[in-house]
Amino acid sequence: MRQRSQLNGLDYILREVSILNPNGSLKINDAVVSKIYHKAEEITQRVVTRREKPGVDWDEKLDNILTSRVWGFPSMLLLLGVVFWLTVAGANYPSQVIASALFWGQDRLSDFLYWLQAPAWVKGFFVEGMYRCLAWVVSVMLPPMAIFFPCFSLLEDLGYLPRVAFNLDRFFKTAGAHGKQALTMSMGFGCNAAGVVACRIIESPRERLIAMLTNNFVPCNGRFPTLIALAGLLVFGLGNSLATTAVVVGVVLFGIAVTLAVSWVLSQTLLKGVPSSFTLELPPYRKPQVGKIIVRSIFDRTLFVLGRAVCVAAPAGAVIWLLANIRIGNLSLLAHGANWLNPLAQQMGLDGFILMAFILGLPANEIVLPILIMGYLAAGAMTELESLQDLYHLFVVQHGWTWVTAVCMMLFSLLHFPCGTTLWTIWRESGSVKWACLAAFIPLGIACTVCFIAAQTARILGLV
């Protein structure tokens, strides 16, 4: 009863409000805004003293270059190139060191199990399955991440991301999307799930959905190592990290182009509408907390990746080993699956193992390449794999890769469905299974189409 009377009380007050202020004639909002702004100005004048401005305004100088019509894009490209070159060139050596250390560990583990007189399947399951997959993830994935991540964080701390949004605003507007999508896209480089959550900064639901559905077209941290390794294979023989960098940058630019194209199509079809306007403040450049970034990248990010590797790669390795060692007829399950997928995969310039690796890699993109290597190793004879040469030998010599295979796998990696975590996040953020499904199937469709066209074109033109 008391609650009802309270609600009635509110209605009574609201009625009185409509008498006091009929049809908003008092213009309260204007009065509030002008009074408050006036007061803020007044106080500021009394408490702030500004001595002469410092001689050089570095913010302005930097912005004149980084957001200028002429130099905005070249400088963006240059920065992107430098970051990737650092990642490619810097990751090479640590990768090899970690690989040799971890595979030395594998031999010791084998020795130990031999000494224990463990049955062969124990050694296979734990050492060749779980440990090896883990070792692969750590050695291939960790160094590029450990370098790219601090670089990305440095740019973010510096205040460069809003400048990217500023530069790209025009394009996103033309595509019918929101200018802030450039920010969420940039976050996607770090992690697609984080990019999807960052879409909350976009207020219009229509444009937020576009941003969420297209976020995975920029390669996340988990896919970079795959792209870098494949780019390395593609330019193998040139032995040049600059060439690898150029390929990776090209792939990233293609991803951005696809982002814009898909945004445009979505805003013409499923998510019709006009882009809303917005204001984005360009924050001052701030000196990044370099020490903190590095420490955090190592303790927070690296340990996180290691943890994730243990959680995902070890079971994945075990599953692969089981698939490769449980036989039906005289073929393993893995080979059955790969054979079954092969005709479809061949049309897209891939093979059955590659497609299988992408499907099994759904929980985390980091493990796609290790799964592929595991699959090939289980089918082949090679046991040691410590460098790009070994990888080249395994892929090209033993499994008949051509440059088209490498290109198609890069395209597929760039465009295919996002990882399970990202899909889950999209489902949670959009609150609908429909959009989460679309977030998986639109990219999958695009990946298949693009790979198909690329492979068929190359074949028709007789390039392979």
Length of the chain as a residue count: 464
Interacting residue with another protein among 138, 183, 235, 438 (CB under 8 A): 183
Regarding 161 and contact with another protein (CB under 8 A), the answer is yes
Nearest CB to another protein, comparing residues 11 and 107: 11
Pattern 414-433, binding to another protein, x per CB under 8 A?
-------x--xx--x-----
Between vectors from CA 415 to CA 367 and to CA 268, what angle results, nearest 5°? 150
Regarding 407 and contact with another protein (CB under 8 A), the answer is no
Nearest CB to another protein, comparing residues 92 and 297: 297
Nearest CB to another protein, comparing residues 9 and 380: 9
Helix (H) / strand (E) element for 129: namely: none
- What is the CB-side half-sphere exposure of residue 218 using CA atoms within 13 A? 25
427, 367 contact by CB (below 8 A): no
Interacting residue with another protein among 143, 162, 275, 370 (CB under 8 A): 162
Interacting residue with another protein among 62, 76, 98, 201 (CB under 8 A): 201
Nearest CB to another protein, comparing residues 31 and 437: 31
Whole-number CA gyration radius for the chain? 27
Q: Which of 371, 377, 378 is nearest to 356 (CA)?
A: 371
361, 368 contact by CB (below 8 A): yes
Q: Applying CB under 8 A, which part among 42-50, 258-266, 384-392, 398-406 lies near another protein? A: 42-50
Interacting residue with another protein among 142, 198, 248, 251 (CB under 8 A): 198
Q: Applying CB under 8 A, which part among 94-102, 153-161, 236-244, 348-356 lies near another protein? A: 153-161
Nearest CB to another protein, comparing residues 239 and 284: 284
Round to whole Å and give the CA distance between 207 and 92.
40
Q: Applying CB under 8 A, which part among 44-52, 116-124, 135-143, 343-351 lies near another protein? A: 44-52
Interacting residue with another protein among 152, 171, 172, 353 (CB under 8 A): 152
Regarding 51 and contact with another protein (CB under 8 A), the answer is yes
Residue ranges in 330-432 assigned as alpha helix (H)? 333-347, 352-360, 368-379, 388-392, 403-415, 420-430
Binders of another protein among residues 272 to 331 (CB under 8 A) are: 280-281, 283-286, 289, 292-293, 296-297, 300-301, 303-304, 308
Between vectors from CA 462 to CA 459 and to CA 464, what angle results, nearest 5°? 70
Nearest CB to another protein, comparing residues 54 and 329: 54
Pattern 208-247, binding to another protein, x per CB under 8 A?
-------------x--------------------------
Round to whole Å and give the CA distance between 104 and 322.
24
CB-CB neighbours of 121 under 10 Å: 12
Round to whole Å and give the CA distance between 66 and 81.
15
